[in-house]
Amino acid sequence: MAEQFAVYTHPHKGQRRRLSMLSTKAGTLDYADTAALDEFHDELSAMMTNLRLHVAHEEATIHPMLAGCIPGGAERLEEEHRTGKHLVENLSAHLEGIQAKSPESTKRGALGLEFYLALNRFIAFYLDHINEEEEHAQAALWRYYTNDELGDAWATIQTSQSPEESIDNFEMILPALNIDDSPLCLLLLATRRLRCSRRSARLQSASSVLRCGQLSNRELGRVSAIQSGLEVA
Ligand SMILES: [Fe+2]
């Protein structure tokens, strides 16, 4: 059976991993430790930026395809996006409220626990949302669009990303993949693109992506095979 083009799977795998790491960190954080709290705030902000951009790409590219084959086919997902954005704004505002309190404030710990609980309510909501996309929206896309059309949509999303956004996505996605995930080749393309853009700092970052991917010998073999194929092409 021919492999069907899955537009959601890989970014969602990366987001699941990143959100689970944030949840663990929020549960173990000392909210009285200002430096640790500031660092966590930066990580949360980076994840929330990723989510906002991800949702914007879905709405610009995938949702018109869904609405084009099913009347109102994207309405539920867009309603969930609006709810998700609201929950994210609440989380950011609450965390910034904790940062504004004196490190000696006895309220920091209690407010931190409320943040942790609310973050996990958001994660539960978001995991349900992306499951809806993978279980139902993806199935509808497969029914009404060819692999080439889905590949074009995916390419549109990739080419509309800034270099910073692409790197953030690769660093998020790669450690969440296994050997059966094809975007290993995308990493190579990205590395090549970065090399061409002469961004040495970014190239270093791409190398760290490879390291954090912790590829096994079998996986590295597949990377080499893909790379050879690209070079032949
Ligand atoms: Fe979505």
Q: Are 190 and 102 in contact (CB under 8 A)?
A: no
Contacts with 126 (C-beta within 8 Å, 6 or more apart), sequence order? 15, 19, 51, 84
Compute CA distances 190 → 29, 40, 206, whole Å.
34, 28, 8
| pLDDT of res. 13 | 95
Q: How many angstroms is it from 225 CA to the middle of ligand 1?
A: 33
| pLDDT of res. 33 | 96
User: Which residues of the chain carry a pLDDT beneath 50?
Assistant: 189, 192-193, 195-214, 230-233
Q: How many angstroms is it from 58 CA to the middle of ligand 1?
A: 6
Q: How many angstroms is it from 169 CA to the middle of ligand 1?
A: 15
Q: Are 26 and 40 in contact (CB under 8 A)?
A: yes
Angle between helices 9-28 and 34-57 (to 10 degrees): 160
**Domain boundaries 1-160, CATH class:** mainly alpha
Q: How many angstroms is it from 81 CA to the middle of ligand 1?
A: 6
Torsion, Cα of 55, 53, 212, 35 (10° steps): -110
Q: How many angstroms is it from 178 CA to the middle of ligand 1?
A: 23
| pLDDT of res. 4 | 81
Residues, Cβ < 5 Å to ion ligand 1:
58
From the list 119, 97, 117, the residue with the least C-alpha distance to 108 is: 97
| pLDDT of res. 222 | 59
Task: Considering the chain, tell me which residue range(s) the CATH 1.20.120.520 domain(s) occupy.
Answer: 1-160
User: Is the pTM value of this prediction over 0.85?
Assistant: no
Q: How many angstroms is it from 57 CA to the middle of ligand 1?
A: 9
Per-residue pLDDT tens over the stretch 182-194: 555 555 545 544 5
Calpha distance 80→123 (Å, rounded): 13
Q: Are 199 and 186 in contact (CB under 8 A)?
A: no
